[in-house]
Chains A and B, each alone.
Chain A
Amino acid sequence: MAIQIRSRLTASPNPTSLPRRIDFRQTLRSNQNGEQVVLEYQMDPAHDVWFVDGDGELVKTIQRSVQVSRADQPVLTRIPLQRGPGTGPMVSVQIDQTITDSAGIKIPDSCVLGIAVN
């Protein structure tokens, strides 16, 4: 019913050029088996780097659901990123992640992605 982050969120490749699908990795564990958690990734709405959702739309927030067990569990989330409208060109962006456990407790994680200016 609760989640712990065992190893922090990382992005790969980092730095990267855009557009590019980025692998976000971290390790989670729960205090119960099979806990369903929601992972939400956000970026600042003002800048020119965007997530690309399943419909090919540029979005600033994207969600994924995963099941987490009691043992340390690596979690991989792949999200395409590309440049869009906004302040820039950015050379690094911060990606905030919020993990919501099944009890509704939200815990934060984040990573910084370096971006090569084309």
Chain B
Amino acid sequence: MAGSPYSDGLCSGFRALRRGLLLGGALAVALVFLAGPAAAQDPCAPPAGDTGFAEVSVNLNAGTFNQVLPFDVPVRVCGTVPAGTTSVAVRYVVSRKADISIDDRCNVTAPPGARLQPERAISGRLDGTTFRVILPPLEAQRYYAFCFLRRAKVSDDVAAKFKSVAGDVLDKGLAAVTSADMTAAQSLKLRTDLYNRLAAAASADDLALTGGTVFDLTSGYDELLGTGKFHGQVLKVLNAQHGADRIVAGDPRQGVKALGELQLDLKEALKAVQASDALKRLVDQLEKNAQTDSTLQEMLASRNFKAALALVRADDEQLSMIAQGREPGEPVADLTDPSQVTAMASHYDDTSSALSGLAALIRKVVESPPASSLRAGLSDGDVAALRALIDPSGPLAKAENLAFTLSGLAQNLQTEIAERSTALNAMAEVMRVEATGVEGVDGSTTGSFATTQSNYVSADAGILFAPGLSESASYIGMNFYTRPVNKDADLRQFGDFRRRFAFTLGLTVQSLADGGNGTTQTRQDLFGSQSLVLGAGLRVTSSFRLSAGAVVFKKKDSDPLVSKYGLGASYYFSISFDLNVARAFQGGLGNLFK
């Protein structure tokens, strides 16, 4: 081979390469010194050595990556975020064409059918204002749009405002639940519904729910049940609203009357009391006697008797108000307002006491001797009628019982409303939000011709054996893949056929020519002292390849009288190293084997 044009060319090539390497090395040293301080300040400067990831930097403000994105290997993206950021996560959309469009809230508007993935955003690791997030291996020759989702602390005012919003959301969400009878599936549905309502309310103000402070829909842990953190509060809310519903609306299945029905019963009982002529005569007589009897006057002026006398003389509208637990000038009580319900209970208490006092007075009258001044002006029939009035089954006892019952129900209703409100506030108090920000960044694993050609081509060097020629020879050549191949990708993970298979084109390093030493020459090399190697093979490991094909040479005509050489070929088997061409030219031939 010495002195051949080919070997001369190879030597001059190596000399050029050596010069290039020396020049490149000098430049690299200069650059390190010049860029040293800046690199030390760059939190996203790639670490020295192989980290097992493809290191990529992102500029969220500019919306760009610092390079074409590598494919088939895990990518570690590094970037910086404003101070106060509490978390960073990323989702992305992928397309074969550069036709992706996402809006400022990270909603995918194009291409049709495209959606963000993965389902759950990939969380990054935050260190001060620097974050790193590991992306799964990306697909080759694709366009990507990444949504970096940032969260940051909110001010106390914003947090307080959200608690109020959360309270309202929970109020409305739980009000729709008509029964606390729940299976696990119904509990999950309720949690999901509440979570979605809360998330929507937060999102409307560019806020997001802070994980761990609301219902966790992914853990399989049910906060509404057992020892769950919302168990007690949710059940309190459901119990209280169910209790309030039963008081206000009654429970026809159990014969429990609605509050309004009991109020009507009270009005009817009061009317029945009022209808007693004997009572009217008693009251008239007592008031008449009181004008001359200061003791009686004092008794009738007491609070209970005054109220009792007012009851006896009330008109229909006044009776309605008394039955509804309100006083003249007061509107009908709002049964969701605890203060109004409390006032209602107080009025029923007054009514109950007044009726009690009236019953006590009547009892005193009917039990006093016939000659007593208390019975002055009353006939025996009046006394009998008064006895009937205070009989346990009489209208006065009925009215008294109803007023007592309504007072209790109003107090219970107030308790239910207050407990429900307290439980809602307690839940809202636990919930936290963070401010959200979305940054869109475009990326691609489809580079220019210069950056992608190395994904299809690799260098090949090995030894072939041609059984038909009984010859072996080393060869160098190129492998041509039918798809982009990242030699850094783990073949165990990305080892499908097209990532292993390649066509091979090469030249033997040694001559396959025969003859000499007195033997007859039957073949010559195709080019000078090299023969052509054409074949195909499969990578067994990242670099080790088994191939087969044909070695092409010049073959002497089989007619001994003809001295012409024609094309000849013989099959071969080879083992070779699939080498990284790009690295070879970037960092010296030693990198061929990396």
Q: With A31-B400, A96-B251 in contact, do A107 and B256 touch (Cβ < 8 Å)?
A: yes
Would you call B182 and A103 a contact (CB within 8 A)? Answer: no
Residue B257, interface by CB 8 Å = yes
Residue A109, interface by CB 8 Å = yes
Size band of the interface chain A makes with B: 35 or more
Q: With A91-B187, A98-B251 in contact, do A4 and B404 touch (Cβ < 8 Å)?
A: yes
Residue B283, interface by CB 8 Å = no
Chain B 207-251, CB-CB to A under 8 Å as 1, else 0, gives 000000000000000101111000100010011001100110011
Would you call A110 and B401 a contact (CB within 8 A)? Answer: no
Q: With A5-B408, A8-B412 in contact, do A106 and B256 touch (Cβ < 8 Å)?
A: yes
Residue B398, interface by CB 8 Å = yes
Please give, as numbers and ranges, the residues of chain B lying within 8 Å of A40 by CB-CB distance: 254
What CA separation (Å) do A19 and B575 show in the bound complex? 73
Chain A 94-108, CB-CB to B under 8 Å as 1, else 0, gives 101010010101111
Residue B333, interface by CB 8 Å = no
**Contact of B254 (CB < 8 Å), options: A4, A98, A114:** A98
Would you call A87 and B238 a contact (CB within 8 A)? Answer: no
Residue B4, interface by CB 8 Å = no
**Contact of A114 (CB < 8 Å), options: B235, B246, B392:** B235
What CA separation (Å) do A111 and B515 show in the bound complex? 106
Q: How far is the CB of A34 from chain B (nearest CB, A)?
A: 13
Residue A75, interface by CB 8 Å = no
**Contact of A92 (CB < 8 Å), options: B235, B251, B402:** B235
Q: With A93-B180, A94-B181 in contact, do A106 and B243 touch (Cβ < 8 Å)?
A: no
Task: Name the residue in B181, B255, B256 with the highest tally of chain A Cβ atoms < 10 Å from its Cβ.
Answer: B181
Interchain pairs with CB closer than 8 A, number:
119
Please give, as numbers and ranges, the residues of chain A lying within 8 Å of B222 by CB-CB distance: 91
Query: How many B residues face the partner with a CB closer than 8 A?
Result: 43
Q: With A4-B408, A4-B411 in contact, do A114 and B402 touch (Cβ < 8 Å)?
A: no
Q: With A3-B405, A8-B412, A108-B246 in contact, do A92 and B225 touch (Cβ < 8 Å)?
A: yes
Please give, as numbers and ranges, the residues of chain B lying within 8 Å of A6 by CB-CB distance: 408
Would you call A117 and B256 a contact (CB within 8 A)? Answer: no
**Contact of B392 (CB < 8 Å), options: A1, A106, A110, A112:** A1
- Interface SS, A side: strand
Q: With A91-B187, A92-B181, A108-B254 in contact, do A2 and B402 touch (Cβ < 8 Å)?
A: yes
- Interface SS, B side: helix
Residue A47, interface by CB 8 Å = yes
Residue A66, interface by CB 8 Å = no
What CA separation (Å) do A98 and B253 show in the bound complex? 11
Would you call A90 and B182 a contact (CB within 8 A)? Answer: yes
What CA separation (Å) do A8 and B352 show in the bound complex? 22
What CA separation (Å) do A35 and B50 show in the bound complex? 86
Besides A4-B408, A106-B256, A108-B254, 13 other A-B contacts (C-beta < 8 A): A1-B397, A2-B404, A44-B181, A91-B182, A91-B225, A92-B187, A94-B181, A94-B239, A101-B401, A103-B392, A105-B402, A110-B243, A112-B180
Measuring CB to CB, which residues of chain A are less than 8 angstroms from any residue of chain B? 1-6, 8, 15, 31, 40, 42, 44, 47, 87-94, 96, 98, 101, 103, 105-112, 114, 116-117
- A-B contacts, 11 of them at CB < 8 A, read A1-B392, A1-B397, A6-B408, A31-B352, A31-B356, A92-B180, A98-B251, A101-B405, A107-B256, A108-B256, A110-B239
